[in-house]
Amino acid sequence: MRTSNGHEHEHERDGRAALWGAAVLTAMAAAAGFSAPARAQAQPQDMQRPHLADHVFLTTNIVPDAFVNTYVRSSLGVARTLNLDYPALVVHGDTLATLSAEQVSAILEFEYQNAVKDWIAVRAKVEVIGRLGTQLASLVEEGVTVASGFDFGWQARLHESRSTMLCGTLDVSNRTYSIIDPRQFAEDVAAGVPNPQLTDDVPVVRSRGGARFAWAVNRPFGITLLTEGSYGETPWRSQSNTWEYSLGASVDFDAGAAWGIPVGAALAYRQTSLPDLSTSSKDIGRSTILRVAYTGERDFIIGVDFMGLFNSEEAQNNRTIVSGGGTLTLLYYF
């Protein structure tokens, strides 16, 4: 009986050990089953979107990425300028009224870039930007300005390491500025100018070259820098060709890498000496964008941009025009 009971206890211990072993193996298999897809999804090497080391970049329209890749992008945005003050109406030394009004700007862009080789890409962009006053004062003072045209250019990889990328860019832009200027028309009529024109179409061709730099700081954070110089015509017929510059920087954060949430954010700043819809040859344009985007797909993002635009118009009473708005961007890599 003792021998039989001993064998029974041994069988019970063996059975319990087998059950514990099976439970442990099942738990390990379940954990592996849950963790393996998560690790596979997080691998940047599976991404079509720009990436270096363990970081997947999220860039903006004002500071584009520094990679030789293939993509198509469309953007649609609107901005509004509030409390825009104009010089007061003065008649015979008496101030009759101080003018204030608003402006609305809209932008539509479509861009395609194709990596013809692993080190060089060619791109083309079509763009339409419009600005008009929403009240009589701004409509008379600023009129209506529409800039439409296209860019054609190249982007080439100059240097690459595990966490950095440097590319050079070369572009040619061809735009037409359609300007409706009621104030200038009225002044020409009053001055007796022959054949005064209410509208004017000004063609502007410029060449532009620069560099873009990307740095994967760590898995969640990345930095993109931009510098450009340009030479060519201006929207003002009275001014000859000019040299202009642009500088930009952005910092992006990948919440998917930090917390497993398929959302990214990028904060970008750009300064240029020739804003797109400048009304003065001495304008300095400053743009800030906060982009929040869905990043759950390996080759596609949907981004919403919150814009702040600051134009310092030194030629017109040293004022600063401040605008705010938003843009919806769809970007597909393939």
41-50, 186-195, 196-205, 320-329: the lowest-pLDDT one: 41-50
Which CATH code for domain 48-333? 2.40.160.40
pLDDT digits (tens, 9 = 90+) for 219-258: 999 999 999 999 999 887 778 899 999 999 999 999 999 9
Asked which of 9-23, 145-159, 296-310 is least confident by mean pLDDT, the reply is 9-23
Predicted pLDDT at 105: 86
Query: Under a CB-based contact definition with an 8 Å cutoff, are residues 280 and 315 in contact?
Result: yes
The 3-state DSSP composition of the chain as helix, strand, coil percent (nearest 5) reads 20, 55, 25
| pLDDT 10s digits, 136-192 | 555 556 667 889 999 999 999 999 999 999 999 999 999 999 888 777 777 778 888
Q: What is the pLDDT of residues 275-293, one digit of tens each?
A: 876 655 567 888 999 999 9
Q: Where are the alpha helices (DSSP H) in the chain?
A: 2-42, 136-142, 182-190, 255-259
Mean local confidence (pLDDT), 8-35: 42
* Distance from C-alpha of 175 to C-alpha of 206, rounded to nearest angstrom: 9
Name the β-bridge partners of 298.
none
Block residue for tokens 């017109």: 316
Q: Where are the domains of the chain?
A: 1-42, 48-333
Residue 57 confidence class, pLDDT cut points 50, 70, 90: very high
Q: What angle is formed at CA 210 by the lines to CA 178 and CA 149, rounded to 5 degrees?
A: 20
Rounded Cα distance, 197 and 309, in Å: 30
pTM over 0.85: no
Cβ neighbours, 10 Å, residue 12: 10
Which residue do the tokens 């300095």 mark?
284
> What whole-number distance in Å separates Cα of residue 112 and Cα of residue 270?
22
Amino acid, single-letter form, for residue 16: R
Contact 58, 264 (CB under 8 A): yes
Q: What is the pLDDT of residues 199-210, one digit of tens each?
A: 889 999 999 999
Q: Give the residue among 81, 191, 194, 195 at the shortest CA–CA distance from 142.
A: 81
How does pLDDT run across 89-121, given as a tens digit for each residue? 544 455 545 556 677 889 999 999 999 999 999
Q: Is 221 exposed, middle or buried (0-12, 13-18, 19+ CB in 10 A)?
A: middle
